[in-house]
Amino acid sequence: MSAAAAAAEAVEVAPKKGKKKLIIIIAAAAVLLGLMGGGTAVYLKKKADAAAAAEAEDEDGDVADSGHKPAAKEKKKGEKLAPPVFVPLDPFVVNLADREADRFAQVGITLEVADAHVGDEIKAYMPAIRNNILLLLAHKTSQELMEPEGKEQLAVEVRREALRPMGFELPDEEEAAAAKKKKKKAKAKAEDAEELPIKSVQFSSFIIQ
């Protein structure tokens, strides 16, 4: 083969090898760009998620710092602050059960009731309530009523007698506890007593002569 023919063949082969190498380089670059693009998308997504989480935490912190309470709790608190309802009774004047001398008592009584509706309902039972309380006072002696324990016992008994015409009975355990000054009461019985329409008895005046 002549020198001219060999040179021509080398010229033909060189372009073919260079073109193939260029294709490989372009393909590798495309793959690299694809990988870089995918990594960038993942990074941007993670950054966006982190920003959203931080914003949610800030909102939760603002709600907590504001001291806002759920509506149910606010309503419950409002119920506790509701003013009590009292029903004053006309004063009671009665002869006591003393045998040594004639003694009488003048007692002012106020009933604490569950609500205003109960206060109106009590008026319908007032004659029977007053009768029960008068009979109760007539069986007391001046000595009994002068003692603090006697007044506490009387308050329990007045409540019992005021409830009876309305169809309610005060638990016997509460009366016995007041009489003996016991500090512990059965929880169930105490809860039952609190649910009665007459919650307590208050004395507005107490005169014994």
**Alpha-carbon dihedral angle through residues 118, 134, 185, 73, given to the nearest 10 degrees:** 20
Same structural domain, 76 and 112: no
Same structural domain, 30 and 90: no
Task: Show the tokens assigned to 44.
Answer: 């941007």
Same structural domain, 173 and 156: yes
Boundary residue ending a domain (60, 82, 104): 82
Give dist(CA 200, CA 87) in Å, integer: 11
The enclosing domain of 183 has a CATH number of 3.30.479
Residue pointed to by tokens 């409830």: 163
Same structural domain, 11 and 46: yes
Same structural domain, 141 and 78: no
Same structural domain, 54 and 94: no
Q: Global pTM?
A: 0.55
Same structural domain, 126 and 138: yes
Same structural domain, 1 and 59: yes
Boundary residue ending a domain (82, 99, 117): 82
* Tally of domains in the chain: 2
Boundary residue ending a domain (82, 115, 140): 82
Same structural domain, 19 and 63: yes
- Residue 171, domain extent: 84-208
Question: Residue 129 burial (CB < 10 Å; 0-12/13-18/19+)?
Answer: buried
Task: Show the tokens assigned to 15.
Answer: 């372009």
pLDDT (tens digit, 0 to 9) for every residue of the chain, 209 residues total?
544 444 445 445 444 445 555 566 665 555 454 545 555 555 556 666 666 666 656 555 444 444 454 454 555 555 566 789 999 999 999 999 999 999 999 999 999 999 999 999 999 999 999 999 999 999 999 999 999 999 999 999 999 999 999 999 887 655 555 555 555 544 444 445 558 999 999 999 999 99
Same structural domain, 6 and 37: yes
Same structural domain, 69 and 103: no
Same structural domain, 187 and 101: yes
